[in-house]
Structure 1
Amino acid sequence: MGFEQEAFEAIMGDASGGMAMWDEVRRAGKGESFVLRYLAKHGSATPSQLAAALKVSSGRISAVLGALEKKGYVVRAIDPEDRRGIRVTLTAAGEEQINRYRDEMRAHICWVFSQMGERRTRELVELIGEFSAYLSLCKPGGPTPTPEQVKEAFAGRETH
């Protein structure tokens, strides 16, 4: 096994090895938190747009919206542009919930960085940037990026 495969297995094991924070992040991406973040970014949406973005059934999105509505985080109303449709929008309480979630995540991540120290944190940030640049070139089912594509992705970066 080459170092590339070993690194992949180590990262996947560390990232999904039952750590509570990663489990919560995965859960957040599959329901209520995802819908709240989507609405914060897009302003409002139809239930079918939310279902497509979340890649779930209309029944599942209906259940998520019902739970968010009970908590007072979203409202569903008739679309003023299409009276047959429904628009979902955030409430002030929903916006506050997003802010709490973001602030909590920031605090946890900053704590981790404080444990790692400045030098290692800066190295990590640089490496993640490099990793992301390479990864941005990879498309599911697509070919391996060409040297020209790699050069273009790193144009303006100091190192690669």
Structure 2
Amino acid sequence: MSSGATELGELLVAAYRAFAQQGRARFGEHGLSAARVRLLTTLGQRPGSRMRDLADALGVSGRAITPLVDALESEGLVARRPDPDDRRAFRLTLTDAGLGAIDRIAGLQEQVSADIFGGMSTKDRRDLARLLRAFLDTAQEPGCAPG
């Protein structure tokens, strides 16, 4: 059976939604919102980021990220440190508790993925990974980039 381009796009969107829904449900059981997970994991990849740089990396406004950082700081997961290059700015770091949260997030991500992909054979998972890499390579070609 041959799938048209429109059907492939619809399947990709449906697959993303199903995956995201499973993730939101599992993380929600542990009091973790998508926004918290994204901020913590991004900060884990970019320790010492300024809030503006973190907001840019997440694709949100500084105004949107401030309450989330404030909440994570009050919970002891994130710390603000003075920026040595700019007295008006702060650098964000994960605390030991924040690093522990990253470990829990990684474990939950592994569980969600295992639940979703567990019904597929090893060969099907390898094929899916290969096809998704090919899709991403194609989607990043100059003719596909938004103008």
Q: Indicate whether the TM-score tops 0.5.
A: yes
Secondary structure at the counterpart of residue 93 of structure 1: helix
- Report SS of the residue matched to 1:116: coil
Shift in CA distance, 134/113, structure 1 to aligned 2, threshold 3 Å: same
**Unmatched segments (≥5 aa) in structure 1:** 142-160
Partner SS for 1:115: coil
**Coordinate RMSD, CA, aligned:** 2.4
In 2, distance between residues paired with 1:79 and 1:18?
Answer: 38
Query: Aligned equivalents of 1:22 and 1:134: distance in 2?
Result: 27
What whole-Å deviation, never above 9, does each CA across 1:104-142 have from its counterpart, x for those lacking one? 11122123333112222222122122222212213112x
Q: Which amino acid aligns with 1:105?
A: Q
By how many angstroms is 1:39 displaced?
Answer: 1.6
Q: Call closer, same or farther: CA 1:80–1:69 in 2, change over 3 Å.
A: same
Q: TM-score under structure 1 normalisation?
A: 0.73
Deviation at 1:91, TM superposition (A): 0.6
Tell me, yes or no, if the aligned pair for 1:15 and 1:22 is still in contact at 8 Å. no
Q: Is the aligned partner of 1:135 residue 2:130?
A: no
Separation (CA, whole Å) in 2 of partners of 1:130 and 1:97: 33
Alpha-carbon separation, structure 2, partners of 1:58 and 1:130: 34
Aligned residues, how many? Answer: 137
Taking only the aligned residue pairs, the percentage that are identical comes to: 29
| Structure (1 or 2) with the larger CA radius of gyration | 1
Query: Residue 130 of structure 2: which of 113, 126, 129 is its match?
Result: 126
CA distance in 2, matches of 1:51, 1:107: 28
Partner AA of 2:57 in structure 1: A
Residue of structure 1 equivalent to 2:89: 85
Runs of 4+ displaced beyond 4 Å:
22-25
Q: C-alpha distance in 1, partners of 2:19/2:95?
A: 33
C-alpha separation between the residues in 2 aligned to 1:39 and 1:14? 27
Deviation, structure 1 residue 18: 8.9
Unaligned runs of 5+ in 2: 28-32
Letter in 2 for 1:56: V
Report the equivalent of 2:99.
Answer: 95
* Cα separation, 2, equivalents of 1:55 and 1:19: 18
Shift of 1:22: 5.2
Partner in structure 1 of residue 4 of structure 2: 3
Per chain length, whose mean CA-contact separation is higher, i.e. which structure has more relative contact order (CA < 8 Å, sep 6+)? 2
